[in-house]
Amino acid sequence: MKGESIEIYKKVLHFVRPYWKLLLISMLFMLGVAGCTSLLAYLVKPALNGIFFQKNAELLNLLPLAILFTYVFRGIFNFSQDYLMNYVGQKVIMDIRQKLFEHIQKLPLSHFLTLPVGDLVSRATNDVFILQSSVSRSITSLIKDFFTALGLIGVVFYNDYKLAIIAFIGIPFIFVPILRFGLKAKKYSYRGQGIMGNMLSFLKEYFSSMRIVKIFSLENMGKKRFFEENQRYFKNYMKQIKVRAISAPVIDLLAAVAISFIIWYGGKQVISGNKTPGDFFSFITALVLMYEPIKKINASLNSIQEGIGASKRIFEILSLPVEEPKEGQLIEMKGLFNEITFKNVSFKYNTKYVLKDISFTVKKGEKVGIVGHSGEGKSTLLNLIPRFYEINEGSIMIDGIDIRNFTLESLRSHIAMVTQEVILFNSTIKENIRYGKQNATENEIIEAARHAYAHDFIMKTPEGYETNVGEMGELLSGGERQRIAIARAFIKDAPILLLDEATSALDSKSEREVQNALNELMEGRTCFIVAHRLSTLSNVDKLIVLKRGKIVEMGSPKELYEKKGEYFKLCKLQHQGVNFEVSE
Predicted confidence at residue 582, as pLDDT, reads 40
Mean pLDDT of the chain: 80
Read off the pLDDT of each residue in 71-86 and give the average, rounded to a whole number.
86
Q: Quick check: pTM over 0.75?
A: no
Sign for the CA dihedral angle at 108, 112, 113, 119 comes to positive
Predicted confidence at residue 443, as pLDDT, reads 92
Predicted confidence at residue 312, as pLDDT, reads 81
Length in residues, the chain: 584
Residue 348's H or E segment, with its range, is strand 339-349
Predicted confidence at residue 506, as pLDDT, reads 63
Q: Which of 493, 413, 411, 505 is nearest to 452 (CA)?
A: 493
Read off the pLDDT of each residue in 40-50 and give the average, rounded to a whole number.
69
pLDDT band with cut points at 50, 70 and 90 for residue 402: very high
pLDDT band with cut points at 50, 70 and 90 for residue 362: very high
CATH placement of domain 7-318: 1.20.1560.10
Q: Is 399 helix (H, G, I), strand (E, B) or coil?
A: coil
Distance CA 379, CA 376 (A): 9
Residue 245's H or E segment, with its range, is helix 219-271
Is the pLDDT reported for residue 583 higher than 50? no
Is the pLDDT reported for residue 142 higher than 80? no
Is the fold of 7-318 the same as that of 339-575? Answer: no
Predicted confidence at residue 369, as pLDDT, reads 92
Predicted confidence at residue 581, as pLDDT, reads 42
Read off the pLDDT of each residue in 155-170 and give the average, rounded to a whole number.
72
State how beta strands 393-398 and 367-371 pair. unpaired
Per the DSSP assignment, residues forming a β-bridge with 362 are 340
Is the pLDDT reported for residue 497 higher than 80? yes
Is the pLDDT reported for residue 222 higher than 60? yes
Higher-scoring residue by pLDDT: 27, 41: 27
Neighbours of 556 (CB within 10 A): 15
Contact 99, 27 (CB under 8 A): no
Distance CA 98, CA 119 (A): 17
The DSSP result for 513-561, as a single string, is: HHHHHHHHHHTTSEEEEE-SSGGGGTT-SEEEEEETTEEEEEE-HHHHH
Question: pLDDT tens for residues 519-562?
Answer: 888 888 899 999 877 877 888 899 999 988 899 999 988 888 88
Question: pLDDT tens for residues 453-494?
Answer: 889 889 988 899 999 888 777 888 888 888 888 888 888 888
Domain boundaries, the chain: 7-318, 339-575
Burial of 350 (0-12, 13-18, 19+ CB in 10 A): exposed
First to last CA, the chain: 43
pLDDT band with cut points at 50, 70 and 90 for residue 358: very high
Higher-scoring residue by pLDDT: 390, 189: 390
Contact 461, 477 (CB under 8 A): no
Predicted confidence at residue 577, as pLDDT, reads 41
pLDDT band with cut points at 50, 70 and 90 for residue 579: very low
State how beta strands 415-419 and 393-398 pair. unpaired
Is the pLDDT reported for residue 128 higher than 70? yes
- Between 48-52, 125-129, 215-219, 286-290, the lowest mean confidence (pLDDT) is in 48-52
Contact 490, 555 (CB under 8 A): no
Distance CA 423, CA 484 (A): 10
Predicted confidence at residue 528, as pLDDT, reads 93
Question: pLDDT tens for residues 306-347?
Answer: 777 778 888 888 888 877 665 567 888 887 688 999 999 999
Question: pLDDT tens for residues 423-448?
Answer: 788 889 999 899 888 888 999 999 98
Q: Which of 116, 91, 88, 90 is nearest to 104 (CA)?
A: 116
Distances (CA, A) of 473 to 4, 403, 465: 44, 33, 14
What share of the chain has pLDDT > 90, as a percent? 10
Contact 10, 47 (CB under 8 A): no
Higher-scoring residue by pLDDT: 174, 19: 19
Read off the pLDDT of each residue in 4-20 and give the average, rounded to a whole number.
79
Long-range Cβ contacts of 351-354 (<8 Å, 24+ apart): 353/549, 354/380, 354/549
Fold classified for 339-575: Rossmann fold (3.40.50)
Burial of 515 (0-12, 13-18, 19+ CB in 10 A): middle
